[in-house]
Amino acid sequence: MSIHGKNFIGNELSALGDKSNKIYDINSNEALEGDFFHANKEEVEKALKLASDAFVVYKQKSQIQRAEFLETIIEEIMNLGDELILRVMSESNLPRPRLEGERGRTIGQLKMFANLLREGSWVEASIDTAMPQRTPLPRNDLRKMLRPLGVVSIFEASNFPLAFACAGGDTASALAAGCCVIVKAHSSHSGTSELIASAIITAVKKCNMPTGTFSLLHGSGRTVGQDIVMHDVVKAVGFTGSTYAGMELFKLANTRKEPIPVFAEMGSINPCLFLPSSLKDTKKLAAIYSFSITLGVGQFCTKPGLIIALKSPELNEFKKDLALEITKVKPATMLSSSISKAYDDNKNEALKLKGISLLSSAEEDNLKSQGKATIACVDASVFVKNPDYQEEVFGPYSLIVECENKNEILEVISSLSGQLTATVMGEDNEMEEYSSHIYALENKVGRILFNGVPTGVEVCSSMQHGGPFPAATDSRFTSVGTGAIKRFVRPVCFQDCPRSLLPLELQDKNELNIMRVLNDSNTRDAV
């Protein structure tokens, strides 16, 4: 399959714009196949009109029909075969095993939502039956369930070119919810986006979904991205990326006549609290953390970017061990030359801050665009005074904050802004001693974990990937796991609705055998 670089406007290919861009191999600087045509205003308008029309049809598809659609997307992605993997490798510089794993994760997410739809209970069906004899006033028949929001705009992430991209968790959850999707391709892996989009469009056709159920548009965030977000048919936005870009979208969406929710999963430094008892085997701890900090060249949103611990001889030992581990990490190519440059710039800014001392750094390498692992230290008394010390450095960088006493640890925790995760390392009996520290950490995060590393985000019902601002724009939602579907639905109540118009999920006979709240009881019983 050759890369054509065109936009997918519903089921049609289109290249009417007068701008385009190529993607270059990060090492050889040679252009990869494909010239990506930026959507012009007419194309954006057409994609959105199609999506709006498609929504009227798509939202009435049954959960089973939507599940079959997601499963067909899986098949079509697998049908892309190794061509997909080769293209992502050349666009992202990520190694084959990681990308094969990420493809598995992407497919796993689609399957998870298909399963959720086949089970069906996630719609939170609730039925309060009529009480015509009630005094002083009778009660009407009231039935409520979650219904899709409308057209959803998804922005691809750079760091997960498959799992948080064209057919990633955002798209999967929005399509599962019954929403139509407009994806804005990421300019660093647009060929990957095109291949995945072609798989989705094949599935749209095979499953008889309306054209406009899915579109893929190329172009810059500033023009095409903003035009999509400002369009009045768009009802929600999904985004994973930098705080800067996420906040631009968030603010923009709030300037609309009708403000819409923007789910931006942005930065996080993922504080790790090392209790004294965790520092018994400092070599092992250093090895585990060095691995997590540098995994994927530190380009995970859950990279442990902050280690908080009490000053002690054991901590000094740990610092020495971690310093050594870090020097041994071979620098590796980052996702793009711009990300690599940003890493160097941000790291250098961080290291220039008063009171920061460099602990260790991986050895020099001569290849371009490589992320060199780096660890620094700072005193807690300095750290708490200035939020600049909390700025995320996207890449293999981590900062150790050294505290004088337990109270200073609490001050550090209080000073933290919202985070995706926090980690507590230590023995169980010591955890209780630090319970107020742990509760304070819980207030700051979406996920709190114990005796592990924050990298590795399980895709499952109990996952929460999100957190208080600025980790995400809305802490009440997750972008990973089944809960992600809740971002793109809203409850609708049907009062005294004729049976012929009532959604299947709310009919008396519980044909789908879903869990419902029936007159305040959880049950699968029919009415």
- Tell me: does residue 370 bind a second copy (CB under 8 A): no
Smallest distance from a second copy to CB 526, Å: 16
**Between residue 141 and residue 170, which ones bind a second copy under the rule CB under 8 A?**
142-144, 147, 149-150
Q: Which is nearer to a second copy, 348 or 436 (CB)?
A: 436
Smallest distance from a second copy to CB 114, Å: 13
Smallest distance from a second copy to CB 273, Å: 13
Q: Which two tokens stand for residue 190?
A: 């647009």
Smallest distance from a second copy to CB 20, Å: 36
Q: Which is nearer to a second copy, 401 or 514 (CB)?
A: 514
Parallel, antiparallel, or unpaired for β 7-9 and 12-14? antiparallel
List the one residue out of 372, 375, 363 whose CA is nearest residue 318.
Answer: 375
- Are 31 and 23 in contact, with CB atoms under 8 Å apart? yes
Q: Which is nearer to a second copy, 250 or 343 (CB)?
A: 250
Q: Which is nearer to a second copy, 320 or 486 (CB)?
A: 486
Per the listing, tokens 């620098």 go with: 331
Q: Which is nearer to a second copy, 4 or 486 (CB)?
A: 486
Say how far apart CA 368 and CA 347 lie, in whole Å: 17
Q: Which DSSP state fits 362? A: P
Smallest distance from a second copy to CB 185, Å: 28
- Tell me: does residue 245 bind a second copy (CB under 8 A): no
Residues 6+ apart with CB under 8 A from 222: none
Say how far apart CA 297 and CA 97 lie, in whole Å: 15
- Tell me: does residue 95 bind a second copy (CB under 8 A): no
∠ CA 77-80-84, nearest 5°, is 95
Crossing angle of the two packed helices 435-442 and 406-415, in degrees rounded to 10: 10
- Tell me: does residue 9 bind a second copy (CB under 8 A): no
Residues 6+ apart with CB under 8 A from 166: 156, 183, 185, 192, 193, 196, 197, 200, 216
> Given candidates 11, 21, 62, 121, which one binds a second copy under the rule CB under 8 A?
121
- Tell me: does residue 330 bind a second copy (CB under 8 A): no
- Tell me: does residue 139 bind a second copy (CB under 8 A): yes
Smallest distance from a second copy to CB 348, Å: 26
> Given candidates 11, 223, 474, 504, which one binds a second copy under the rule CB under 8 A?
474
- Tell me: does residue 470 bind a second copy (CB under 8 A): yes
Smallest distance from a second copy to CB 256, Å: 9
**Between residue 479 and residue 498, which ones bind a second copy under the rule CB under 8 A?**
483, 486, 489-498
Determine which helix (DSSP H) or strand (DSSP E) holds 360, and give its type and residue range. Answer: strand 357-361
Say how far apart CA 176 and CA 59 lie, in whole Å: 10
> Given candidates 11, 21, 327, 417, which one binds a second copy under the rule CB under 8 A?
417
Say how far apart CA 86 and CA 109 lie, in whole Å: 22
- Are 408 and 381 in contact, with CB atoms under 8 Å apart? yes
Smallest distance from a second copy to CB 103, Å: 14
> Given candidates 21, 65, 126, 415, which one binds a second copy under the rule CB under 8 A?
126
- Residue 301: exposed, middle, or buried by beta-carbon count in 10 A (0-12, 13-18, 19+)? buried
- Of 139-147, 168-176, 223-231, 337-345, which segment contacts a second copy by CB under 8 A? 139-147
**Between residue 424 and residue 463, which ones bind a second copy under the rule CB under 8 A?**
428, 431-432, 435-436, 438-440, 442-443, 445-452, 456, 458, 460-463
Q: Among 272, 301, 377, 403, which one carries the catalytic annotation?
A: 301
Residues 6+ apart with CB under 8 A from 272: 289, 304, 306, 307, 308, 422, 423, 424, 425, 454
Smallest distance from a second copy to CB 271, Å: 15
Q: Among 71, 194, 265, 314, which one carries the catalytic annotation?
A: 265
- Tell me: does residue 140 bind a second copy (CB under 8 A): yes
- Tell me: does residue 476 bind a second copy (CB under 8 A): yes
Pattern 57-86, a second copy, x by CB under 8 A: ---x--------------------------
Q: Which is nearer to a second copy, 260 or 279 (CB)?
A: 260
Active site residue 301: yes
Crossing angle of the two packed helices 96-119 and 169-177, in degrees rounded to 10: 20
Q: Which two tokens stand for residue 357?
A: 């001392």
Residues 6+ apart with CB under 8 A from 57: 209, 210
Say how far apart CA 491 and CA 273 lie, in whole Å: 39
Q: Give, in order, the Cα–Cα distances in Å from 421 to each of 126, 184, 273, 279.
A: 33, 28, 11, 21
- Tell me: does residue 500 bind a second copy (CB under 8 A): yes
Q: Which is nearer to a second copy, 4 or 147 (CB)?
A: 147
- Tell me: does residue 136 bind a second copy (CB under 8 A): yes
Q: Which is nearer to a second copy, 242 or 360 (CB)?
A: 242
| Residues that are catalytic | 265, 301
